[in-house]
Chain A
């Protein structure tokens, strides 16, 4: 990675890392009586290791003067590898906590860090932000360069975005284990990690916008719209929901600026739109590039993709309050949330249908190519889970489903079936392109991964549908004398078989991710095919329009 930087850039990186190390040292010193001190040490170690990595390669030859005639793929490659590492960590912890619900005494160590309550956010953060976030950053770098036909606008800032983001993920995950958690779901990290993410995110936004501004295509391809919406709206959501008053500069604990019903509304405005713009818009961007590319067919209807883009951008923002049906939230806000959640089905199905219709005429490719099949199944699950989501947002359905495992099942239908599948598809497509291989090392292992992932998802989702509906029904069943028929404990006991099935499904999915890691590793290690490198050499392309523009 360092070899792509000029000496001046290497010096800048060293200066920055030295300053970061100093900051870590300060935090470690002033916060030594508080959990934040541990994070000071973490920042110190992280920046010293990075410093060391730059220093050992400091005297490497400088990059060629015409480096801007090639795409900047070093951060993309690193991002994909890091995403896979987080996938394994996150899915392992997920499977682990699933087994803890089967048998809560499986902890082995009776230590605070090993308890369910602290491991659960490690799972959610590692898969959503670690795996999903890194995959989004890496593929967005890849896609924006290809669709704009230009190199990323900067050499240090892509590295800063990638590694800075991973420092955030590390702060988040280690924080939960040490008991640093502000309790807001999917926004658990404390104020200083939040602040750091804001800096990283602004750099990401500026980099993305500057790269788009450099583009050599007249039109901004729609995938970039989705990526841009993801970057922008996530920034707004993160900043507003994260507003908090820290105890002091040297303490991790903070108190949210919002309280009670206001906080609930802000939290679920954030929570739902994090799903919308992190887990949907970003991955739709991925789909709108990789699916047509892999199928070698243009998107079925470009117009439809534009309409669904604005529909999603607009409708999602109103939908958050469906998480708060029958609560102390004002009734009209609940109704508004419900209405817009149902209307969301239109742009969502427009996107899913657009993807499937793109494949129409290429079904033989879907049959033969597991990578494309990953993307196909992702589009199917996207359609299914958006339907389910709109359905569950209806107040009377929500009365049954809320607080139950059905919600967990719904989330995983989206997360495993849609987000992870489209990501695996995109990764399997990009790895050979990036490392200049003809195919993945073993297409058969891609096939194995596909079936493991699909089986795992189906087992998981069916188990949670069953357990959720049973739970909801048991809680509201009355016996003949007009009293509640079941105690809460009886509903817990009834969940046991489904919790076993869920843990098995999750373990399948984890196994699939391990197979993927092995396959990717072997692809990278495989010898480079002769002659494949010729594309790397820049060639002068003459384009009359562009010549006139210059």
Chain B
């Protein structure tokens, strides 16, 4: 078989770890990027507005 079991295991044990770290860092940066703050705050408040009909 072309793909060896050990290769795949090795890949999940190494790449998986780096992937996890990179992803966590990326998400944290996105969430705390200063320029995004206004957008997030607006979104959090937007659902509370009256909304009886779609915007035209």
Taking Cβ atoms with an 8 Å cutoff, the residues of A that contact B are 68-71, 145-147, 149-151, 216-219, 221-223, 289, 292-293, 296-299, 302-304, 306-307, 310-311, 314, 332, 336, 535-536, 538-541, 543, 546
Mind listing 26 A-B residue pairs with CB under 8 Å? A146-B51, A150-B54, A216-B54, A221-B43, A221-B46, A289-B47, A293-B47, A293-B48, A298-B41, A298-B45, A298-B48, A302-B41, A302-B43, A303-B40, A304-B31, A306-B27, A306-B30, A307-B31, A310-B27, A311-B27, A314-B20, A332-B9, A332-B13, A536-B53, A538-B53, A546-B55
Bound complex: CA A216 to CA B49 (Å) = 14
- Chain A residue at minimum C-beta to C-beta distance from B5: A330
List A contacts of B44 (CB < 8 A): 292, 298-299, 302
Closest to A314 in B: B23
Q: Which B-chain residue is minimally distant from A220 (CB atoms)?
A: B43
Instruction: List, in ascending order, chain A residues with CB within 8 A of B27's CB.
Output: 306-307, 310-311
Asked whether any CB of chain A lies closer than 8 Å to the CB of B35, the reply is no
* Also in contact, A146 and B55, with CB within 8 A (given A302-B41, A306-B27, A310-B27): no
We find that the number of chain B residues with CB closer than 8 angstroms to chain A is: 27
Contacts of B42 in A (CB 8 A): 218-219
Q: Is the interface of B mostly helix, strand, loop or mixed?
A: helix
Any A CB within 8 A of the CB of B52: yes
* 8 A Cβ contacts from B1-56 to A: 9, 12-13, 20, 23-24, 27-28, 30-32, 39-48, 51-56
Contact check, B53 vs A71: say whether CB atoms are below 8 A apart: yes
Apart from A221-B43, A302-B43, list 10 A-B contacts with CB within 8 A. A69-B54, A147-B46, A147-B47, A151-B54, A216-B54, A219-B46, A289-B47, A297-B48, A307-B28, A311-B27
Q: Known contacts being A222-B43, A314-B20, is A149 close to B51, with CB within 8 Å?
A: yes
Residues in A neighbouring B13, C-beta threshold 8 A: 332
Q: Which of B20, B51, B55 has the most CB of A within 10 A?
A: B55
| Chain A residues positioned under 8 Å from B45 (CB to CB) | 298
* Interface residue from A68, A145, A217, A296 paired with B48 (Cβ < 8 Å): A296
**Residues of chain B with a CB closer than 8 A to A546's CB:** 55
- Across the interface, do A217 and B31 meet the contact criterion of CB distance under 8 Å? no
Residue of B nearest to A149 (CB): B55
Query: How many Å lie between the Cα of A541 and that of B47 in the bound state?
Result: 17
Whole-angstrom CA separation of A216 from B52 in the bound complex: 14
How far, in angstroms, from A223 to B9 measured CA to CA in the complex?
Answer: 36
A307 to B23, CA, bound (A): 11
B53 partner residues in chain A, CB cutoff 8 A: 69-71, 535-536, 538-539
* B positions within 8 Å CB-CB of A: 9, 12-13, 20, 23-24, 27-28, 30-32, 39-48, 51-56
Name the distance in Å between A337's Cβ and chain B's nearest Cβ.
12
Choose from B23, B43, B51 the contact partner of A219 (Cβ within 8 Å): B43
A176 to B47, CA, bound (A): 42
Contact (A68, B55) CB under 8 Å given A146-B47, A292-B44: no
Q: How far is the CB of B25 from chain A (nearest CB, A)?
A: 11
Give the tally of cross-chain contacts (CB within 8 A): 85
A540, closest chain B residue (CB)? B56
Within 8 Å by CB of A541, from B28, B41, B48, B55, lies B55
**In the complex, which residues of chain B have a beta carbon less than 8 angstroms from the beta carbon of A535?**
52-53
B23's closest neighbor in chain A, by CB? A314
Rounded to whole Å, the gap between the CB of B10 and the closest CB of chain A is 11
Provide the bound-state CA to CA distance between A332 and B6, in Å: 12
A524 to B46, CA, bound (A): 29
Residue in B12, B23, B53, B54 whose Cβ sees the most chain A Cβ within 10 Å: B54
In the bound assembly, the distance between CA atoms of A254 and B43 in angstroms comes to 48
- Residues on A with C-beta less than 8 A from B39 are 218-219
User: CA of A336 to CA of B13 in the docked complex: distance in angstroms?
Assistant: 9
Report the bound CA distance from A546 to B27 in whole Å: 30
CA distance A536 to B53 in the complex (A): 7
What chain A residues lie within 8 Å of B52 (beta carbons)? 535-536
| Docked complex Cα distance between A15 and B54 (Å) | 31
CB-defined contacts of A217 to chain B, threshold 8 Å? 43, 46
Question: Known interface pairs A302-B40, A303-B32, A307-B27. Does A70 touch B46 (Cβ–Cβ under 8 Å)?
Answer: no
Closest to B41 in A: A302
User: When A307-B27, A307-B28, A314-B23 are in contact, do A68 and B54 touch as well, CB less than 8 Å?
Assistant: yes
How long is the Cα–Cα vector from A539 to B44 in the complex, in angstroms? 25
- Give 6 nearest A-B pairs by CB, closest first: A216-B55, A298-B44, A535-B52, A302-B40, A303-B31, A219-B43
Chain B residues with CB under 8 A of A538: 53, 56
Say how far B13's CB is from chain A's closest CB, in angstroms: 8
**Closest approach, in angstroms, between the C-beta of A317 and any C-beta of chain B?**
11
Contact assessment for B54 and A292 in the assembled complex, using a CB-CB cutoff below 8 Å: no
- Contact check: which of A145, A298, A299, A541 meets B56 at CB < 8 Å? A541
A147 and B40 CA atoms in complex are apart in Å by 14
Q: How far is the CA of A151 from the CA of B56 in the complex (A)?
A: 10
* Alpha-carbon separation in the docked complex, A69 to B30 (Å): 35
Q: Are A150 and B55 in contact (CB under 8 A)?
A: yes
A493 CB to closest chain B CB, in angstroms? Answer: 45
The distance in angstroms between the C-alpha atoms of A146 and B46, with both chains bound, is 10
Minimum Cβ distance to chain A for residue B47 (Å): 6
Q: Which of B23, B24, B54 contacts A71 (CB 8 A)?
A: B54
Cβ distance B42 to chain A, nearest Cβ, rounded Å = 7
- Residues of chain B within 8 A of A541, CB atoms compared: 55-56
How far apart sit A543 and B9, CA to CA, in the bound complex (Å)? 55
**Which A-chain residue is minimally distant from B42 (CB atoms)?**
A219
